[in-house]
Amino acid sequence: MTATIQRKLNDSPAARWTALILIALMMFFGYMFVDVMSPLKSLIESARGWDSGTFGTYAASEYFLNVFFFFLIFAGIILDKMGIRFTGLLSASLMVIGASIKFVGISDWFQTTAFCAWLDSWWAAFPGSAKMASLGFMIFGCGCEMAGTTVSKAIAKWFEGKEMALAMGLEMAIARLGVFAVMWLSPMISNHFDKSVVAPVAFCTALLVVGLLCYTVFVYMDRKLDRQLIAAGEMKEQKSADEEFHVKDLGLIFRSKMFWLVALLCVLYYSAIFPFQRYAPNFLEVTLQVDAGTASQLFSCFPILAMILTPFLGAMLDYRGKGATMLMVGAIIMIACHLSFAFLLPAFPSKWLALLLIVTLGVSFSLVPAALWPSVPKIIDTKVLGSAYCLIFWIQNVGLCLVPLLIGLVLDATGGYTVPMIIFSTFGILAFIFSFYLKIEDRRKNYGLEKPNIN
């Protein structure tokens, strides 16, 4: 009987990897929805009267509430107070609600309504369809970013003392598969429905509902694990006052130099990746003089090597370590790729060269996240881990909100992609500097970023 109690649900490889797949599928569908409009930039501009500035503002809206209304900070408090079950269901629900509003905003019938006409007249420089789509994207963004932090804490719980970095790597690989899938599916669905911008969004919205159902199944599994942890004496049914999260505990995070180094590295690195994804299909379309479908299919290869390498890099991190070194190498690769996009590809506009650069950038996208997220539990107390992840995401979202706006304005001002690519490479240079400093601090304070997760 004692042996039965001691063997918990996450001790079973089948159970813990099933749990991982369930929560990863929610992120997979979320990543699909994030980039469903990226291959349709030219189409949405001609069909709804948008321009690059409008598209950039729409892309930035995903992070608006997270940044300027501090939603992600509140999300961290909710996560540490309410736990991964409540917060995960809330985040998945917000994604579905926000996606539905965005679907309404770009739909054909909405364009004929009096409400859309009123939106057109209010703040006239921004079409009514874009305003409604941006509102939905804001709400979706709250759910998506909250889901990302919740998933990280859930994996840290289910894989504690086990293959944590590998699990986080696999989750990221599955999520990135969503980018690959939508870059192919979005133009295909659009073309099947006579150049429709609505059909791909409707399809991805339906998938978000499936993601909500997947997380609901995980909730039942996690509830069973908690009962087993309580029975085994590894978890209290009610936390003591010292173990409970309090808002004042956020000071533990803000006073940590390592937290700030990780957060700044994160915002710089991701500001050179995710905003680039929004514009990459159009960049390839313009630079290579190809149609939108071909451009999006070329860029769909971006996450391929990342999907393949991230689990292996996670396993290496678990058994060999070298997390801080991986961050530096990833930043160097990113700098080289963006500078090549700025100068080399326009000089030699070849699909094969573009594909090589895109896939190589994907290597960087596997190195940095594989090392970054498993490092956070090493520098932050478990009691405030959810808040730490959310604060990092909040700082990251500041960049992800402002950079698409900047790129849109620069595109309208210059009419080309050279300056935007130089901006992206500058972020990479700064990311390398912070990753180098992070490695120095780890060597001085012995946080274990270079050490393996499994002894």
Give the pLDDT mean for 171-192: 87
Degrees, nearest 5: CA angle 128-129-135: 90
- Long-range pairs for 55-59 at CB < 8 Å and ≥24 separation? 55/278, 55/408, 56/278, 56/404, 56/405, 56/406, 56/407, 56/408, 56/409, 56/411, 57/126, 57/130, 57/134, 57/404, 57/405, 57/408, 58/130, 58/133, 58/134, 58/137, 59/275, 59/278, 59/404, 59/408
- Count CA atoms within 13 Å of residue 346 on its CB side: 12
- Count CA atoms within 13 Å of residue 344 on its CB side: 14
CB contact at 8 A, 186 and 43: no
Please give the domain boundaries of the chain with CATH numbers for all domains. Answer: 2-445 (1.20.1250.20)
Q: Is the pLDDT of residue 33 over 50?
A: yes
Q: Tell me, what's the pLDDT at 399?
A: 87
Count of beta carbons in the 10 Å neighbourhood of residue 115: 11
Give the pLDDT mean for 30-45: 90
DSSP 10: G
Alpha-helical (H) ranges within 35-127 are 41-48, 52-61, 64-68, 71-106, 114-121
Q: Tell me, what's the pLDDT at 257?
A: 86
Q: Tell me, what's the pLDDT at 239?
A: 56
Gyration radius (Cα) of the chain, Å = 22
pLDDT band, very low/low/confident/very high, at 344 (cuts 50, 70, 90): very high
Q: Tell me, what's the pLDDT at 2?
A: 42
Question: What are 89-146's pLDDT values in tens digits?
Answer: 999 999 999 999 999 999 989 988 999 888 888 876 788 899 999 999 999 999 998 9
Rounded Cα distance between 252 and 244, Å, is: 14
Give the pLDDT mean for 150-168: 85
Give the pLDDT mean for 242-250: 61
Question: What are 368-395's pLDDT values in tens digits?
Answer: 777 777 778 788 877 777 778 778 878 8
Rounded Cα distance between 254 and 277, Å, is: 31
Q: Tell me, what's the pLDDT at 1?
A: 38
Q: Tell me, what's the pLDDT at 47?
A: 86
Amino acid at the residue 12: S
Question: What are 444-454's pLDDT values in tens digits?
Answer: 888 888 887 66
Q: Is the pLDDT of residue 4 over 50?
A: no
Q: Is 37 helix (H, G, I), strand (E, B) or coil?
A: coil
Two tokens, residue 108 = 């054909």
Q: Which of 247-251, 325-329, 334-338, 416-420 has the lowest mean pLDDT?
A: 247-251
Entry pTM: 0.76
Residue with tokens 């963004």: 141
Question: What are 260-318's pLDDT values in tens digits?
Answer: 998 899 899 989 988 898 889 889 999 999 987 888 888 888 877 777 777 777 778 77
Q: Is the pLDDT of residue 419 over 80?
A: yes
CB contact at 8 A, 409 and 56: yes
Degrees, nearest 5: CA angle 141-142-147: 95
Question: What are 308-323's pLDDT values in tens digits?
Answer: 777 777 778 778 878 8
